[in-house]
Amino acid sequence: MSAGRLAASAALLALAASPVMAQGDTAARFTQAQADNGAELYRDNCAMCHGPHLNDGEFGPSLNGARFKRQWAGNGVGGLFAYLRAAMPPTRTSVLKSDEYADLMAFLFQANGAKAGDKPLPDTAEALSGLTVPK
Ligand code: HEC
């Protein structure tokens, strides 16, 4: 291969690599409809412990602000999804469905500063893998 062709292939490689790097933003997306439904589910299933404003609960830790960021932001959404399905609401973990947990996560992301968009948050562990909790 000539030096010229080598340079050309290097340039092509660099081009091919750039879209991959653009995908480095793995922050999970969600819709406003999901966040709205999540807000309702939160009121009915979570607020009695975590508080109506997410940080004023008598029986559960704050779900917004510094603590939520420290615990979850930048980590896999799958971890949060699995945690919620296994543990929340405590003693009543069978009442909510997968899509309802996705809506609750959308609500929590929005409450922590993320913006809704037009891409819904998936509700299966497979589809969530690779996505991270928005920072
Ligand atoms: C009966 C009270 C109660 C209810 C209802 C409840 N939680 Fe919790 N939640 C807790 C407690 C207590 C913890 C702390 C558990 C621990 O640290 O092991 C917790 C922890 C959490 C955490 C982890 C917080 C952190 O930063 O460590 C999340 C997220 C969460 N709850 C979300 C929810 C959601 C969403 C709902 C409604 C579907 C809900 N919880 C309902 C009591 C409750």
Give me the pLDDT at residue 3, please: 61
**Cα–ligand 1 centroid distance for 7 (angstroms):** 56
Mean pLDDT computed over every residue of the chain: 89
Give the model confidence (pLDDT) of 57-69 as tens digits.
999 999 999 999 9
**Exposed (0-12), middle (13-18) or buried (19+): which is 23, by Cβ within 10 Å?**
exposed
Point out the ligand 1 atom lying closest to the alpha carbon of residue 89.
41
Helices (H), 23-54: 32-45, 47-50
% of the chain exceeding 70 in pLDDT: 82
Give me the pLDDT at residue 25, please: 86
Q: How confident is the model at residue 17 (pLDDT cuts 50, 70, 90)?
A: very low
**Cα–ligand 1 centroid distance for 35 (angstroms):** 18
Residue with CA closest to ligand 1 atom 29: 63
Give me the pLDDT at residue 67, please: 95
**Residue 52 one-letter amino acid:** P
Give me the pLDDT at residue 19, please: 42
Residue with CA closest to ligand 1 atom 7: 89
CA distance 129 to 33: 22
Domains of the chain by start residue, with CATH? 3-17+27-128 (1.10.760.10)
